[in-house]
Amino acid sequence: MSSPAKAKPATAPVVFTANRLLDGRVVWLVAAGQWVERVADATVFPPEEAAAGLALAQEDERAQRVVGVYGAEVALEAGRPVPVKFRERLRAQGPSVPAEPPTYRLAS
């Protein structure tokens, strides 16, 4: 059996993201137990504090508020975090499909 992958130490500022269990939305950590839907409002952790931020995020995962917690590198633009990688930029834009699919009526 293989051991779990070890987290690479952060070398850039990071934010923590996950999916909210209640509705599956992408959320970003601002404080222990608090998550927001906008990456611009997320708490930015400098590399030396990334491990502490991950621990906070994982507490909420253990409490089953969120799932799939991970850190995402960010650049600061006008004081706001902007994800560096395409995957997180896409997640930050919101769902690519409507939250409520349209209903169709069949012609009778």
**Given this model, what pLDDT does residue 33 score?**
78
Mean pLDDT of the chain: 87
Q: Where are the domains of the chain?
A: 14-92
pLDDT over 70 (residue 5): no
- Coil, strand, or helix at residue 91? helix
The order of strands in the sheet holding 80-83 is 34-36, 26-31, 14-20, 66-77, 80-83
The residue behind tokens 């349209």 is: 102
Q: Which residues pair with residue 18 across a beta bridge?
A: 27
pLDDT digits (tens, 9 = 90+) for 77-92: 998 999 999 999 988 8
pLDDT over 70 (residue 35): yes
**How large is the average pLDDT for residues 67-76?**
96
**Given this model, what pLDDT does residue 1 score?**
47
